[in-house]
């Protein structure tokens, strides 16, 4: 079967209609759809060709410019429902995308369990490292409360903190009293970041030639004020006023020193 000819009802251009097309054609000049009908047989072919050539030569450019301003969807010819359905399928293809699977409560519970297990293992590993290195970390101010609480649960004890270098004797003075006695006054201060037990005091007197005249050690119960428990540690930054009554070591004792040592 040979191709037939149809004339565009909008611009008058002749359009070749293949045999397989029976519903609608699109004009190659104005790009509009129209019903596929062959041209009237009463018009001679030579006249149709001459008319087509005239339209093509004289108004092709103007027709194309006009076609660009048209709304093809609103001004398209009404087509049979089956043909319109086919055109819609061609012009607007649809692609089915797979939807994401909905998360079930089992999957959520599994993820939460794995996260909790990972956190528990991390905490256990950190605890083992801290316990193995407890001599290094147990007296750090940030970690000492943690070790103390752990030992309360495990029925162990954290060794007492000792830092003699952090103890200071401030405002030391010696005053002579009647009947050959002296009064030594100073303020004992703990400048360590953790509490520590009161130290043993060492008080010495020397001559100008650095010869020792008198030396005595005092336990916390001997020098702490009355009413203060000697077993109670000195808190971080805590200071205690000390007053000691001593026998005058003599006129040669012109120098005195104060020292501390641990129990």
Q: Domain 164-261 belongs to what architecture? A: Distorted Sandwich (2.70)
Residue 30, number of CB atoms within 10 A of its CB: 21
**Contact predicate 198/169, CB 8 Å:** no
Residue 185 in this model has a pLDDT that exceeds 80: yes
Query: How confident is the model over 1-57, as pLDDT tens digits?
Result: 556 777 788 887 887 766 655 567 778 778 787 776 554 555 454 454 444 444 444
* Structure tokens, 229: 């428990």
CA distance 228 to 240: 10
Q: Contacts from 24-30 at CB under 8 Å and sequence distance 24+?
A: 24/77, 24/79, 24/83, 24/87, 29/55, 29/56, 29/60, 29/63, 29/64, 29/67, 30/63, 30/64, 30/66, 30/67, 30/70
When pLDDT is averaged across residues 234-245 and rounded to a whole number, the result is 92
The CATH 2.70.50.60 portion of the chain extends over: 164-261
64-73, 76-85, 178-187 — most confident range:
178-187
Bridge-based pairing state of the strands 24-26 and 33-35: antiparallel
By C-alpha distance, which of 230, 235, 156 is closest to 194? 235
Q: Does the pLDDT value for residue 231 go beyond 70? A: yes
Task: Give me the pLDDT at residue 245, please.
Answer: 87
Lowest-confidence segment of 16-25, 190-199, 251-260 by average pLDDT: 16-25
Lowest mean pLDDT among 104-118, 125-139, 215-229: 125-139
**pLDDT at residue 91 in the model:** 52
pTM above 0.75, yes or no: no
Q: Residue 8: exposed, middle, or buried by beta-carbon count in 10 A (0-12, 13-18, 19+)?
A: buried
Q: Rounded to the nearest 10 degrees, what angle do helices 105-132 and 144-154 cross at? A: 100
What is the mean pLDDT of the segment spanning 101-120? Answer: 83
């Amino acid at each position: 079967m040979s191709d037939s000819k149809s004339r565009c009802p909008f611009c008058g251009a002749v359009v070749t209609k293949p045999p397989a097309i029976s519903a609608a054609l699109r004009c190659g000049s104005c790009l509009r759809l129209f019903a596929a009908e062959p041209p009237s047989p009463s018009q001679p072919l030579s006249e149709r060709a001459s008319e087509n050539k005239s339209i093509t030569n004289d108004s092709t450019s103007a027709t194309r410019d006009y076609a660009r301003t048209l709304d093809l969807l609103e001004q398209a010819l009404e087509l049979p429902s089956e043909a319109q359905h086919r055109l819609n399928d061609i012009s607007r293809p649809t692609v089915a995308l797979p939807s994401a699977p909905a998360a079930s409560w089992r999957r959520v519970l599994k993820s939460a369990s794995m996260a909790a297990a990972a956190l528990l293992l991390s905490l256990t590993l950190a605890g083992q490292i801290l316990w193995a290195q407890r001599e290094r970390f147990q007296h750090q101010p940030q970690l000492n409360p943690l070790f103390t609480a752990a030992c309360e649960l495990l029925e162990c004890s954290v060794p007492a903190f000792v830092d003699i270098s952090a103890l200071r004797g401030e405002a030391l003075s010696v005053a002579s009293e009647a009947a050959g006695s002296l009064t030594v006054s100073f303020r004992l201060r703990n400048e360590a970041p953790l509490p520590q037990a009161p130290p043993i005091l060492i008080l010495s007197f020397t001559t100008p030639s650095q010869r020792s005249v008198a030396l005595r050690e005092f336990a916390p119960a001997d020098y702490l004020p009355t009413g203060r428990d000697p077993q109670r540690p000195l808190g971080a930054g805590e200071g205690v006023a000390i007053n000691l009554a001593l026998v005058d070591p003599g006129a040669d004792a012109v120098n005195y020193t104060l020292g501390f040592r641990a129990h």
